[in-house]
Homo-oligomer: A and B are copies of this chain.
């Protein structure tokens, strides 16, 4: 419980004062899933470029990275203790290992911030590298904590 309270407090700091408020636990789940969905879509758009499936356009990459950056700060506020009982793809381990989840979230947000900065250089090789590093931070938590 103490860990969860700490995580909730951390989520407030993470997402700044613009953190979300929820009337019901279901709203918190929907919110975090929505933020992840928007983030994933725009991250994939950068992915298509670094994988050569879409033409590289530095401006497009930067615009998508800006959306990913904003979204990366949001979902954490939706992992409130009350949402543990709501059915989602979150594994039981997520609630039991909040310190690790928190560290993973920090790592992801840092990687995304680096990716966004890298897209502003317009250097495709650097973007590829940064994209891969970011994708690894997504995968680490998905593998450990998502069904």
Contact = CB atoms under 8 A, between A and B. Distances in A.
A57 interface: yes
Given A34-B33, A38-B74, A45 B63 contact: no
Contact of A21 (B44, B59, B63, B70): B44
B45 A20 contact: yes
Interface in A36-84: 37-38, 41-42, 44-45, 48, 54, 57, 59-60, 63-64, 66-67, 70-71, 74
Nearest to A35: B38
Interface of A: 16-18, 20-22, 27, 30-31, 33-35, 37-38, 41-42, 44-45, 48, 54, 57, 59-60, 63-64, 66-67, 70-71, 74
